[in-house]
């Protein structure tokens, strides 16, 4: 019963309310409240600060939540090995990925992985913004760039160039920039990552590095939409070669300023802190790396 209550506590923390947790697990809100009270009585501490509108973790609650993920993962793996044999992978995986990457290559990898492991269920959340993978209960996340949160575990998938590109129709009408400074005379399609605007584009390496501030009439927090706008001829964008590679090869987009390319950007898999990791998550991470290497 203790393990069940810890698992329920994890669901409450992820969902942000007793009512939402009750719906998730198919219990009444009263039962969920009683089981939370029993867990707090067992430890002799308050795990959640409760008001009429919000829930927030106490320090003790955060400690329990941090430890619960690894403990519950070990229990689930043990249960799987006993019930289904050491070779069977079962259970859910929650993944966060950028928009374009998730709709393209990651979706294809999930499809193949699901065929090999039909007992695994996958929840894929797409966002180009920073995601709190611990607070939101993700098993792993894919993100471009260096990871500044030292508490997270990471594995590098590869390094990929960001390519400045536009549709032939745009370049035919407005001309092709020859040096980075020419972008001041062009309409640029700009991404927003949370509160940060990606309007300072990096060019060159070492002593020849340049930072160019770009402007344009379209800003969005969805990389997939930026790519659609570029394909429609609305302006120049800067995208990962993974996202626009097929468009470049097909001639739908044209790379510009390639002599001024910046160093490749790492693509990394992020995992929550802690040593324990379900075997299914490790297996999927391996499938991601293999899928990107063969793409």
What pLDDT sits at residue 191?
Answer: 93
Percent of the chain predicted with pLDDT > 70:
94
Phi-psi region of 213 (alpha: psi -120 to 50; beta: other; left: phi over 0): beta
What pLDDT sits at residue 96?
Answer: 94
Distance CA 169, CA 173 (A): 6
Percent of the chain predicted with pLDDT > 90:
43
What residue ranges define each of the domains in the chain, with the CATH number in brackets? 1-82 (1.10.10.10), 162-263 (3.40.190.10)
pTM: 0.67
b/e 163-187 (16+ beta carbons within 10 angstroms → b): bbbbbeebbeeeeebeebeebeebb
Mean pLDDT, the chain, as a whole number? 88
In tens, the pLDDT along 63-110 reads 888 777 777 777 776 776 666 555 567 888 999 999 889 998 999 999
Residue ranges in 144-278 assigned as alpha helix (H) = 168-174, 223-231, 241-250
In tens, the pLDDT along 246-287 reads 999 999 999 999 999 999 989 999 998 865 678 889 899 999
């Amino acid at each position: 019963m203790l393990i069940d209550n810890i698992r329920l506590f994890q669901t409450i923390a992820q969902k942000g309310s007793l009512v939402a947790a009750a719906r998730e697990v198919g219990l009444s809100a009263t039962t969920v409240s009683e089981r939370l009270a029993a867990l707090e009585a067992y430890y002799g501490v308050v795990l959640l600060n409760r008001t009429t509108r919000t829930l927030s973790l106490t320090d003790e609650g955060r400690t329990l939540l941090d430890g619960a993920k690894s403990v519950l993962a070990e229990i689930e793996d043990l249960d799987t090995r006993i019930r289904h044999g050491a070779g069977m992978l079962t259970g859910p995986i929650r993944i966060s990925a950028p928009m374009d990457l998730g709709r393209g290559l990651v979706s294809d990898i999930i499809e193949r992985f699901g065929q090999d492991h039909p007992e695994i269920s996958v929840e894929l959340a797409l966002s180009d913004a920073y995601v709190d993978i611990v607070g939101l209960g993700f098993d792993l996340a894919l993100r471009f760039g260096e990871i500044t949160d030292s508490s997270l575990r990471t594995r590098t998938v590869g390094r990929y160039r960001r390519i400045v590109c536009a549709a032939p129709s745009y370049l035919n009408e407005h001309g092709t920039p020859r040096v980075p400074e020419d972008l001041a005379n062009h309409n640029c399609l700009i991404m927003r990552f949370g509160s940060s605007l990606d309007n300072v584009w990096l060019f060159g390496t070492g002593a020849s590095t340049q930072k160019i501030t770009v402007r344009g009439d379209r800003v969005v927090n969805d990389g997939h939409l930026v790519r659609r706008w570029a394909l429609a001829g609305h302006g120049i964008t800067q995208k990962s070669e993974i996202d626009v590679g097929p468009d470049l090869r097909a001639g739908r987009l044209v790379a510009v300023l390639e002599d001024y390319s910046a160093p490749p950007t790492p693509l990394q898999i992020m995992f929550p802190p802690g040593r324990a990791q379900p075997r299914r998550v490790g297996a999927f991470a391996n499938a991601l790396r293999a899928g990107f290497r063969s793409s």
